[in-house]
Structure 1
Amino acid sequence: MLRSMITASNTMNELQKQMNNISHNLANLDTTGYKAVNTSFSELVRQQIEQVDEKNNEVAQSRKTPPGLRLGVGALAVDKLTNSQGSLKETGRNLDFALTSPYQYFQVDVDGEVQYTRDGAFTLSTVAGNANQVQLMTADGHSVLDENGNAIRFDRRYQNVQVDKNGTITVSSGNEGEAPLRFNLGIVRAVKPQALAAEGGNLFSVDDNLRATALINLTGAGRQEISIKQGSLEASNVDVSKEMTDLIASQRSYEMNSRAVTMGDQMMGLINSVR
């Protein structure tokens, strides 16, 4: 009974993680550029209990299964980031940039650390200490970086912002004879997307030891891989029907395992009541 209760309780803990992920996905259904987290399960290592000792060699040789019992100890939940492309929503706003290729991310500065996002709803904000300059920012106030890791800043008279499909921003003042400025958006491609760690606020980070192998900075000829559409935003890739189906299945599995714990408790109660 104790083994059945331990196995069931281990599985219940992992099922709770799946339900937490489903709740998080549904809560971010309308979050720009959000990537759903799906849960899969694998079986924990089984334990072999040798409780059968065959005395008859003929019987032992005729067995189709190994002697004893192989008891599982529950399931293990594995989280996986889903990088499928979300649908595009037209906004008509010049500072809305939608990445139209999966596995690509904007680079942003978060308190001195480079992090990554698919949310391209940008704004122009005055540079602290210099009222004559503006910089490209995320909706949460993080600086958007160029391909060299520098904040994108320019004189505030340059208000006309255009971006091509390869991520080159052109800003112009509209004054005749004044040359426009150009910046290359910092875009990376995740070749090992599971190295991305969610930081909240629709941001991801990568461990410094994994950064060189998990990400490719799309510069030079690599910028031809970039695909951006201006005046649009990428919607969440959460599939509501799948999430609801998984939620029902996980709740029923949780209920089944909780009943296994209850049955184990009842059986132990019967044993304890024997006089």
Structure 2
Amino acid sequence: MNQSMITASVTMGQLQKKLDTISHNVANVNTNGYKRRDVQFQDLLFQQLNNQTVHQQETGRNTSNGLRIGSGARVSQTILRMEQGAIIQTERPLDIAIGEKGIFFEVLPTDENESRRFTRDGAFYLTPNPDNADELFLVTGDGDYVMSATGNAIAIPANYDSINVTETGTILVTLKGDLDTEINLGQLQLFRVTKPQLLESIGDNYFSFPNLDQLGLGFDDVLELVPENEGKLIQGALEGSNVDLGKELSELILAQRAYQFNTRSISMADQMMGLVNNIRG
């Protein structure tokens, strides 16, 4: 196959990954706490052809000797961008936004064999405790239990009147018939991720870590517990996506043009080979 065809086809395959990443970002422009990803490319191997045997003819050359024939480019990595999203006021008591980047809620896995899961989406709800009709559990939009600082699900009395969540994550509840007394139900579990590029999206707006043992790391190497006296939580608000729709559409246009350029390269190489095949001696 013609070398230009190989170079173009390889690059087109990698550009498709960029297009997929952009489409994923755009699809989540309204997802609470979503963090966009950017794509970075790097050159693949290239060949250096030095076919000039008369060195005197290289005098005055403005470029390096010989020819470089590349093999295209590939995606080197997709970078998780942790910039803070816009804070959207909802006035709903169970909506809790994190006002500082790098901090995540932890969610209890439904199965003990599942990996630890983290999220920035603070749209929480209440669900009945199947074993106790007098209790409600704080859960995510998918019904997963939100973890407390003790490592357990957060239980709230069913006869509550109001729920107040402080900036540091302390949950205070007043009960019906006793509005003057606030009950401290514990602390939301908050972690600061120190190596965010290791986070993997596992769907449903959750993140998880790969097998850290294979990387020679432990959770203490990638997570820091946020002290109980610190925190930037905002009750009655949600963090929006950090996707810049205008930027994503600009990147989409550039990627499409690069893709079109490479398809044109294949078409021109095919035409040249057709001309060669039609030459008659």
Contact 1:147 1:217 in 2 (8 A): no
User: Residue 233 in 1 paired to residue 241 in 2?
Assistant: no
Instruction: State the partner residue of 1:133.
Output: 135
5 Å-filtered alignment, 1:1-275, equals 2-53=2-53, 67-77=65-75, 78-112=77-111, 113=114, 114-176=116-178, 180-209=183-212, 210=217, 211-220=219-228, 223-224=229-230, 226-275=231-280
Q: Give the letter aligned to residue 148 of structure 2.
A: D
Distance 1:4 1:159 in 2: 70
1:83 is displaced (CA, Å) by 1.1
- Distance in 1 (CA, whole Å) between partners of 2:235 and 2:181 is 24
Give a deviation string over 1:246-269, Cα, whole Å, max 9, x none.
Answer: 111111111001101111111222
Match for 1:213: what amino acid?
D
Q: Secondary structure at the match of 1:171?
A: strand
Take 2:162 and 2:12, find their aligned partners in 1: how far apart are those partners? 55
Q: What code does the residue aligned with 1:214 have?
A: V
Q: 1:201 to 1:256 in 2, by over 3 A?
A: same
Q: CA deviation at 1:16?
A: 1.0
| Counterpart Cα distance in 2 of 1:128 and 1:145 | 18
1:148-196 per-position Cα deviation (integer Å, ceiling 9, x unaligned): 3321123322352111111111223244486613311111112111111
2:35–2:241: 8 Å Cα contact kept in structure 1? Answer: yes
Partner Cα distance (1:98, 1:79) in 2: 26
Unaligned stretches of 5+ in structure 1?
A: none
For 1:46 and 1:147, the matched residues in 2 are separated by 54
Paired with 2:197 and 2:146, the residues of 1 have a C-alpha distance of 23
CA contact (8 A) 2:170 2:184 kept: no
Structure 2 CA distance for partners of 1:169 and 1:6, relative to 1, 3 Å: same
Displacement of 1:122 in angstroms is: 0.1
Provide, for residues 14-61 of structure 1, a one-character-per-residue CA deviation record: whole Å limited to 9, x for no partner: 11111111111111111111111122322223332343445x5x7789
> How many equivalent pairs are there?
270
C-alpha deviation, 1:203, in angstroms: 0.9
Distance 1:110 1:267, change over 3 A: farther
Query: Which segment drifts farther, 246-255 or 153-162?
Result: 153-162
Output the CA distance in 2 between the equivalents of 1:128 and 1:174. Answer: 22
- Using the TM superposition, give the Cα deviation of residue 90 of structure 1 relative to its aligned residue in structure 2, in angstroms: 1.0
1: distance between equivalents of 2:118 and 2:93? Answer: 21
TM-score scaled by length of structure 2: 0.87
Over the aligned positions, Cα root-mean-square deviation in angstroms equals 2.3
Deviates more, 1:94-103 or 1:4-13: 4-13
- Alpha-carbon distance in 2 for matches of 1:74, 1:25: 25
Note the C-alpha offset of 1:69. 2.2
